[in-house]
Amino acid sequence: MTLSEIADGKLAPRLGIKLDNISKRYGDNTVLDDVSLHVEPGTVTALIGPSGAGKSTFLRCINLLERPDSGTIQVDQHTIEPGKDVNSRDLAALRRTVGMVFQSFNLFPHMSALKNISFPQQKVLGRSKDEADERSMQLLERVGLKEKAHQHPGRCSGGQQQRIAIARALALDPSIMLFDEPTSALDPEVGLEVLAVMRELAADGMTMIVVTHEMQFARDVSDTLVVMADCRIIEQGDPRAIMSDPQEARTRRFLRAVLER
């Protein structure tokens, strides 16, 4: 069984997502300036760019962890205008459709790995404990951590915690997965085990949006490379094309800094 076959046991539909004219400011400080991004179902989009460009904020706007001041988000049949009041049904639908993995894992430290994955299934999808645990064990096995099921996150390495966090998000059958610098808190060797899981997920056709500094991953795995700088998307397209022949001077400068170190 592949990761996403497990992830979409109830055949979560492949969905894309359309973000249009997303703007966000904190006081006088603009962090996102009219950003639009359309993601096709089953594709992997890598978001790269210098720090402070607004990559993470943009990603967090997609599932409304940050509330944009204006713009629209279209996913499935739902159109959400975050600048206006968002009703709780739309918000719940959005969060069910979109799973998220954080830089700092954010596993619940007072629950075992198994419970971390089962608890949200029981609460959000109304699965019974047995159903949820069965699904959790399948996912743990797929990310190679079956033996960690009854350990608390504090006893797991960073790479293990991140893989558990991925399993936790997949357990809710999301159609789209967001990754916010999933390997940045890990040392490079440990990061590989997480990237391996993500590659597999991408190969299975999961729609993914990944904020990353892993240029090789961005080049090899993503279908679309999006370069952000100064609160805007400055360039997007085929990753190999952009990396070998960037059109913007800012992109060139950034790529030189990250590729030639």
Partner 1 sequence: MDALSAVLQGLPMTIVLTLSAFAIGIVGAVPLAVGLSSSNILVRLACRLFVDLVRGVPIIVWLFLLKFGIQIGTFKFNPVGAAIVGLGVVSVAYLAEIYRGGLQAVPRGQGEAAHALGLTRGTTFYGVMVPQAFRIVSPSIATYLTGLLKDSSIASTIIVAEMVFQSQSFARQHPTVEGILPYILVGILYIALSLPVAYLSRRLDSRMRKAVYA
Site for partner 1, rule CB under 8 A: 63, 65, 92, 95-96, 98-100, 102, 104, 106-110, 119-120, 123-124, 151-152, 154-155, 165, 168-169, 172
Nearer to partner 1 by Cβ, of 135 and 168: the residue is 168
What is the Cα Rg of the chain in Å? 18
Burial of 125 (0-12, 13-18, 19+ CB in 10 A): middle
**Spatial distance between the Cα atoms of 7 and 3, rounded to a whole number of angstroms:** 6
Nearer to partner 1 by Cβ, of 133 and 235: the residue is 133
Nearer to partner 1 by Cβ, of 172 and 221: the residue is 172
Q: Give me the least distance between CB of 227 and partner 1, in Å please.
A: 25
Q: Give me the least distance between CB of 125 and partner 1, in Å please.
A: 9
**Spatial distance between the Cα atoms of 205 and 227, rounded to a whole number of angstroms:** 22
Q: Give me the least distance between CB of 15 and partner 1, in Å please.
A: 16
Under 8 Å between Cβ of 225 and 217: no
Burial of 85 (0-12, 13-18, 19+ CB in 10 A): exposed
Nearer to partner 1 by Cβ, of 92 and 259: the residue is 92
Q: Give me the least distance between CB of 99 and partner 1, in Å please.
A: 8
